[in-house]
């Protein structure tokens, strides 16, 4: 499907629409441009529940959206687990968003869990002990919300790097020799949950993201159109990872992406996105 006929959008947020507590330039204008088409926000971050993410988008002045427009890796993990087994039992390590998503469809049970689920957040030695013994004794499956090795965060206004879901699940995998199953980008379940909410096929949608190795590669595998915005960790001029196909659109920021879309859609106008 040509870009001009794209019916809907999946948008990554961190590095595309905001950094920490700061909206990126033109984020609100960009959202106004695409708001006439179906769209969903998807994030590998399993920590915040969707309602809190929606509050953040509103607080930063980016968009006023319903929590249902936001799909987190925690929600996709809960939905995936419910498909494996109805009324499943789990032991989970992670933040509020993960516990809330899992409790809606499964039962927390540190004695008989069938799944050990690892997200992002405080991880202590006893949780690792519980998790690895559930894997050994109950043959519990090890499931990670997202494979990111590290994530960007801000503390007291300063940028810090935190271990991501891929790093935090490593002690469980190493101690047991089991390979975790990851649900978040670049794997399919997170995109598929968002596409199902939009009622659109992958080929009808475009993924907009700032990370080639996760956002873009995962969307390409599903046959989505892709737009890389180099406003996050991946900077202008940086070469794409070896072996990956280039995204359909590769731009420095949302202003440039808006220009490309307006050109494709034949939208004229004299607004900000026509400026050089
Ligand atoms: Mg991002």
Superfamily of domain 3-44+186-274: HAD superfamily/HAD-like (3.40.50.1000)
* Ligand 1 geometric centre to CA of 139 (Å): 34
Active site residue 253: no
Q: What is the DSSP letter of 202?
A: G
List, for the chain, all residue ranges whose pLDDT scores fall below the cut of 70.
Answer: 268-276
End-to-end CA separation in angstroms for the chain? 28
Q: What is the pLDDT, as a whole number, of residue 270?
A: 45
Q: pLDDT tens across 99-120, in order?
A: 999 999 999 999 999 999 999 9
Q: What is the dihedral of CA 200, 202, 207, 213, to 10 degrees?
A: 150
Bridge partners of residue 208, in order along the sequence: 11, 227
Using CA atoms, how far apart are residues 47 and 45, in angstroms rounded to an integer? 6
Distances (CA, A) of 192 to 5, 39, 64, 223: 20, 13, 23, 12
Q: For the chain, what are the domain ranges?
A: 3-44+186-274, 74-182
pLDDT computed for residue 39 by the predictor: 98
User: Is 69 strand, coil or helix?
Assistant: helix
Examine residue 207 and say whether the peptide bond preceding it is cis (omega within 30 degrees of 0). no
Q: Is 87 a catalytic residue?
A: no
Q: How far is the CA of 250 from the centre of ligand 1 (A)?
A: 15
Report pTM. Answer: 0.93
Domain range 74-182, CATH class: alpha beta
Could you tell me if 192 and 130 are in contact, meaning their C-beta atoms sit under 8 angstroms apart?
no
Instruction: Compute, in angstroms, the gap from residue 53 CA to the centroid of ligand 1.
Output: 14
DSSP for 107-149 reads EE-TTT-SEEEE-SS---HHHHHHHHHHHHHH-PEEEES---S
pLDDT tens-digit readout, 234-266: 999 999 999 999 999 999 999 999 999 999 998
């Amino acid at each position: 499907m040509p870009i001009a006929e794209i019916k809907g959008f999946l948008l990554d947020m961190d590095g595309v629409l905001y950094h920490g507590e700061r909206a990126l330039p033109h984020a609100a204008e960009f959202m106004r441009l695409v708001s006439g088409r179906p769209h969903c926000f998807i994030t590998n971050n399993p920590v915040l529940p969707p309602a809190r993410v929606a509050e953040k988008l509103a607080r930063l002045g980016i968009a006023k959206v319903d929590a249902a427009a936001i799909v987190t890796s925690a929600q996709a993990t809960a939905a995936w687990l419910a498909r494996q087994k109805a009324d499943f039992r789990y032991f989970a390590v992670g933040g509020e968003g993960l516990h809330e998503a899992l409790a809606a469809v499964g039962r927390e049970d540190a004695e008989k869990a069938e799944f050990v689920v690892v997200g992002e957040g405080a991880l202590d030695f006893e949780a690792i002990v519980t998790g690895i013994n559930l894997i050994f004794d109950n043959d519990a499956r090890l499931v990670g919300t997202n494979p990111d090795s590290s994530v960007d965060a801000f503390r007291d206004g300063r940028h810090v790097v935190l271990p991501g879901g891929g790093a935090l699940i490593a002690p469980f995998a190493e101690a047991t020799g089991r390979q975790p199953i990851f649900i978040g980008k670049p794997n399919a379940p997170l995109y598929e949950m968002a596409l199902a909410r939009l009622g659109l096929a992958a080929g009808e949608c475009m993924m907009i993201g700032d990370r080639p190795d996760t956002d873009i590669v995962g969307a390409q595998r599903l046959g989505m159109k892709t737009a890389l915005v180099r406003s996050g960790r991946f900077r202008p001029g940086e070469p794409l990872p070896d072996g990956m196909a280039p995204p359909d659109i590769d731009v420095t920021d949302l202003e440039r992406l808006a220009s490309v879309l307006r050109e494709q859609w034949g939208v004229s106008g004299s607004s900000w996105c026509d400026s050089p």
